Amino acid sequence: MQTIGEQIKTIRKNKKLTLTQVAGEKMSAAMVSLIENNKTKPTVETLQHIARTLNIDPQEIMGGMTREELASEIEQISEWTEDYELEGFLKAIDRMENLLPHLSNNYESARIYEKLAKILYFLERFHKDSYEELSIQNYFDYTKRAKEIYHNLQMKTYALEVVLFEANIEHSNGNFKKTLDILNESIESLKNETRSDMKSLYVKFLLFRIHAVSASGDFKQTFDLLDEAIEFSKKHVIMDVFYELHNTYALLLFNENQKKQANKHLETTEKLIDLTENTMYRINTMEIKIHFLEYFENQLEEALVLADELEEELKRADPVTKEVTEALHVHLSDARARCYTKLEQPQKALPLFQKIDENFHFMKERHPIDSSLDYLTPSYEALCYLQLGEFDKAQELAEKGVELQREFPHLQYYQFSKEVLKTVRERVSLK
């Protein structure tokens, strides 16, 4: 490994600079020569001066790693983590922890800080035990450092992507007000940007704000924000999240019983699928339509047919990961169970219901609509047991369904669970 002096000499010669040019006005050429030949130990201020005249990052000659070396480390870390396996994440964290003392103020260092923050957060959510054994845990320390470097390098889009990640953390923890505070500050700073990448980022922030506002139950403001985001996307031809904007609009309109308007937005998403031939858009839309047909429109046979079609689509869809496929099969099983419940075929329905995660803190990490939808299961099961004449079991499950839904009084699903409990109690009183 080269000494500091040898590194300076190598860089100077590669840049074809003389000792005098490196010395500048603040030191002598003789002093530079002594440093290069390891005859004297330079101060930090001297090294910073030499780094400026060589036009390099000071860390490169102060015991840090070169940008090329850091880029190589990033590539290795990406390989370890691409499969989202715990072993790979732990290996990456161990490596990044060792890299921390060698990081500086360059782009590659910011990337490593950002990656470290995201992996730590992922481990906290999905591998809590492993996370708690780590010597470093506070991911916000590393998002802060990444943002500082990106800002100093005038890489605003990169800094704002980190802000989106921070907002996502708060949103996942159910801190919707804090989420909005983070988003609104950045939205204000993006309003007058003219670059297309900034406009695209602006729409992403708008979409995130829409999710946060709808999660708080303010649907009137949510619809206004959706209109604003869609109009902006059309005007500036920003298609990144156009599909998701219309999808979100449809779901919220169905919740408000505005079926005609909701279907118009679904038609827009289907046109987009035809244009893009995007597999995940198609699969996602089919899944949502199954729910709409079953829950909002009571077209049960049609929903079951579409569920079969989606299952076939999943067999053909190469880009879909194993984890996504498994999650979709779980949703399909629940969807079929709910259809059979309404068709009064409880023997078919009950084995298909999937176990829900009743851990409140975990469920808070999702959008309330997703959580409330999952929490419908006990109410449907209650209807099945009511059909089978098992009244005590039906009442127990109906009460559980209402209790789980109390967190979401602004959603239709809560009203559904209350109606199920009312129906069960009326039947029980007659037995």
Q: How far apart are the first and last CA of the chain?
A: 87
Q: What is the mean pLDDT of the chain?
A: 88
Say whether pLDDT at 379 is over 80.
yes
Say whether pLDDT at 320 is over 80.
no
Closest CA to 243 of 274, 219, 209, 198: 274
Looking at residue 101, the DSSP 8-state letter turns out to be G
The amino acid that residue 19 corresponds to is L
CB 377, CB 410: distance < 8 Å = no
Higher-pLDDT residue of 104 and 243 is 243
**Residue-level pLDDT at 333:** 95
Range list of H helices, 64-175 = 67-81, 86-99, 107-126, 128-132, 139-152, 156-172
**Residue-level pLDDT at 64:** 63
CB 215, CB 367: distance < 8 Å = yes
**Residue-level pLDDT at 286:** 92
As a whole number of angstroms, the distance between CA 64 and CA 51 comes to 13
Of the ranges 86-100, 117-131, 308-322, which one carries the lowest mean pLDDT score?
A: 308-322
Task: Tell me the average pLDDT across 174-183.
Answer: 90
Read off φ and ψ for residue 152, nearest 5 degrees.
-65, -30
**Residue-level pLDDT at 99:** 87
**Residue-level pLDDT at 392:** 94
Torsion of CA 34, 39, 42, 48, to 10 degrees: 40
Confidence of residue 360 (pLDDT cuts 50, 70, 90): very low
Instruction: Give the percent of the chain with pLDDT over 90.
Output: 54
The amino acid that residue 166 corresponds to is E
Say whether pLDDT at 361 is over 50.
no
Structure tokens at 354: 């999937």
The amino acid that residue 125 corresponds to is R
Give the CA diameter of the chain. 104
Say whether pLDDT at 359 is over 50.
no
As a whole number of angstroms, the distance between CA 394 and CA 429 comes to 13
CB 281, CB 273: distance < 8 Å = yes
As a whole number of angstroms, the distance between CA 149 and CA 1 comes to 28
Higher-pLDDT residue of 50 and 367 is 50
**Residue-level pLDDT at 78:** 93
CB 256, CB 222: distance < 8 Å = no
Structure tokens at 154: 């005038």
Say whether pLDDT at 338 is over 90.
yes
Task: Give how far Cα 205 sits from Cα of 185, 195, 237, Å.
Answer: 10, 15, 16
Confidence of residue 318 (pLDDT cuts 50, 70, 90): low
| Length of the chain measured in residues | 431
Supply angle C-alpha 241, 317, 248, rounded to 5.
25
**Residue-level pLDDT at 1:** 55
Task: Tell me the average pLDDT across 24-33.
Answer: 91
**Residue-level pLDDT at 90:** 95
Confidence of residue 41 (pLDDT cuts 50, 70, 90): confident
Residue with tokens 């490994």: 1
Confidence of residue 357 (pLDDT cuts 50, 70, 90): low
**Residue-level pLDDT at 119:** 95
| Residues ≥6 apart with Cβ < 8 Å to 57 | 51, 64, 67, 104, 105, 106
- 296-300: long-range contacts at Cβ-Cβ below 8 A with a sequence spacing of 24 or more? 296/254, 296/259, 296/262, 297/259, 298/342, 300/339, 300/342, 300/343
CATH superfamily to which 4-63 belongs: lambda repressor-like DNA-binding domains (1.10.260.40)
Instruction: Give the percent of the chain with pLDDT over 70.
Output: 94
Residue-wise pLDDT tens digits, 51-73: 889 988 776 776 667 788 899 99
- 65-69: long-range contacts at Cβ-Cβ below 8 A with a sequence spacing of 24 or more? 65/99, 65/102, 65/103, 67/106, 67/107, 67/108
- 44-51: long-range contacts at Cβ-Cβ below 8 A with a sequence spacing of 24 or more? 47/4, 49/24, 50/8, 50/22
**Residue-level pLDDT at 372:** 84
Higher-pLDDT residue of 322 and 365 is 322
Closest CA to 207 of 229, 238, 191: 229
Torsion of CA 59, 62, 67, 70, to 10 degrees: -100
| Residues ≥6 apart with Cβ < 8 Å to 322 | none
Residue-wise pLDDT tens digits, 209-231: 998 898 888 899 999 999 999 99
Residue-wise pLDDT tens digits, 250-263: 989 988 889 899 99
Say whether pLDDT at 364 is over 50.
no
CB 302, CB 293: distance < 8 Å = yes
User: What are the sequence ranges of the domains in the chain?
Assistant: 4-63, 65-154, 355-431
**Residue-level pLDDT at 3:** 78
As a whole number of angstroms, the distance between CA 337 and CA 382 comes to 12
Residue-wise pLDDT tens digits, 267-306: 999 998 888 888 888 888 899 899 999 999 999 999 999 9
As a whole number of angstroms, the distance between CA 303 and CA 311 comes to 12
Task: Tell me the average pLDDT across 415-429.
Answer: 93
Task: Tell me the average pLDDT across 148-159.
Answer: 92
